[in-house]
């Protein structure tokens, strides 16, 4: 029976896409960019996703990622904006953006009342701590593991070791990770030897050989899975 739930932050609990759009467009306007905002947003999202994939593979540092994504974007649009100053503005807005995924508050409260809950994230620590503190879910967890704090990112098994140590938990068979990323959350759980639940609200196709133990399309679908798990024990 599951006793420890690891749950991802971005696009599992927090609506990262909405926060990203708010932070980027607010910062662009602050720096005098008022045209082509939607196209710039689209291009930034693709650049940013590519940068985070490099981070997961250990091919770039988080500090380099924070600046390089904007250097690439501004070069594409020939914008003479200092990447460091823009990044600071962007991260400040992002830290204010405590937008939640549908049912996130209700579901994490349910998890908190029935399990040990650890939030696990590769996100930038200043942003993650700020958003969590500003959100209505700030009290519904027993700890948070941020890759920047421990020097290792999902899907590295060492990241998950830190989560279990924080929870004072040793039995991998009673651990479940819930997350939206096949490459970091699900592959990381597989690498570590724990059960996985893919939050696939975009109805994407699984990428073999990354096959989750469970798949849900809405957070509320985790409740019957956990209820069935209890009945089996």
Which of these is catalytic: 8, 180, 185, 195? 8
Sign of the alpha-carbon torsion through 24, 28, 29, 35: negative
How far apart are the C-alpha atoms of 29 and 11, rounded to whole Å? Answer: 25
* Distances, alpha carbon 100 to alpha carbons 12, 19, 39, 152, in Å: 9, 9, 25, 26
- Residue ranges of the alpha helices (H) in the chain? 16-30, 37-56, 62-76, 83-95, 104-114, 125-134, 147-150, 157-167, 187-192, 222-232
- Please state the length of the chain: 233
Which of these is catalytic: 10, 156, 180, 195? 10
Is residue 43 flagged as an active site residue?
no
- For the chain, first and last CA: distance in Å? 6
Positions of E strands within 162-209: 175-179, 195-199
Is residue 15 flagged as an active site residue?
no
List the catalytic residues: 8, 10
């Amino acid at each position: 029976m599951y006793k420890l739930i690891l749950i991802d932050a971005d696009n599992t609990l927090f609506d990262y896409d909405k926060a990203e759009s708010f932070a980027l467009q607010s910062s662009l306007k602050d720096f005098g960019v008022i045209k082509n905002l939607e196209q710039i947003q689209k291009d930034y999202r693709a650049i940013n996703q590519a940068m985070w994939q490099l981070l997961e593979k250990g091919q770039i540092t988080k500090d380099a990622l924070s600046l390089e994504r904007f250097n690439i974007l501004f070069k594409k649009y020939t914008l003479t904006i200092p990447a460091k100053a823009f990044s600071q503005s962007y991260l400040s807005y992002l830290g204010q953006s405590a937008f939640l995924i549908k049912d996130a508050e209700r579901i994490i409260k349910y998890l908190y009342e029935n399990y040990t809950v650890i939030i696990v994230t590769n996100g930038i620590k200043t942003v993650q701590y700020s958003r969590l503190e500003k959100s209505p879910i700030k009290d519904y967890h027993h700890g948070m593991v941020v890759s920047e704090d421990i020097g290792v990112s999902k899907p590295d098994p060492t990241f998950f070791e830190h989560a279990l140590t924080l929870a004072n938990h040793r039995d991998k068979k009673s651990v479940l990770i819930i997350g939206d990323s096949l490459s970091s959350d699900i592959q990381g759980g597989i690498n570590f030897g724990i059960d996985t639940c893919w939050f696939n609200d975009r109805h994407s196709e699984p990428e073999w050989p990354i096959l989750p133990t469970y798949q849900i399309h809405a957070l509320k679908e985790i409740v019957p899975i956990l209820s069935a798990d209890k009945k089996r024990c």
